[in-house]
Amino acid sequence: MMFSVLAFVVKRLLNNGVLVLSTAFGLLVTVTLVTAVPLYSEGLSAHLLKLELARPDTKITPQRASVLPATVSRSPSNAATCSSRTASAATGEPAGCPERPQI
């Protein structure tokens, strides 16, 4: 029984070879397009992200730039004298020393 069904399928495939080849080719093209579109989209998105990250943004102030002026104003000699002084009663900071920036 199984042999007769298989023989029937092979006979039909050989008789309609052009139809089978065109169907297989169409299926190949369809699968290629369906898988290529997400791959292309992902690659293009990654490329655009790299370009965007490589471009400098002048509107954003770097975080270190906002802390830098407060820390540069203290010289090593000023820090040594500040640590040797006594703390003022009101603030708890050494008298005459600038306050430490809050981070």
Q: Is the pTM of this model over 0.75?
A: no
Q: What percent of the chain has pLDDT over 90?
A: 42
Structural domain boundaries enclosing 45: 12-55
Token match 């640590």: residue? 83
Residue 74 and residue 79: Cα distance in Å, rounded?
6
Q: What is the pLDDT of residues 16-68, one digit of tens each?
A: 989 999 999 999 999 999 999 999 999 999 999 999 999 887 777 666 655 55
Token match 């008789």: residue? 15
Does residue 36 sit within a domain? yes
Does residue 50 sit within a domain? yes
Does residue 102 sit within a domain? no
Number of domains the chain contains: 1
Q: What is the pLDDT of residues 10-25, one digit of tens each?
A: 999 899 989 999 999 9
Does residue 60 sit within a domain? no
Please, are residues 36 and 28 in contact by the beta-carbon 8 Å criterion?
no
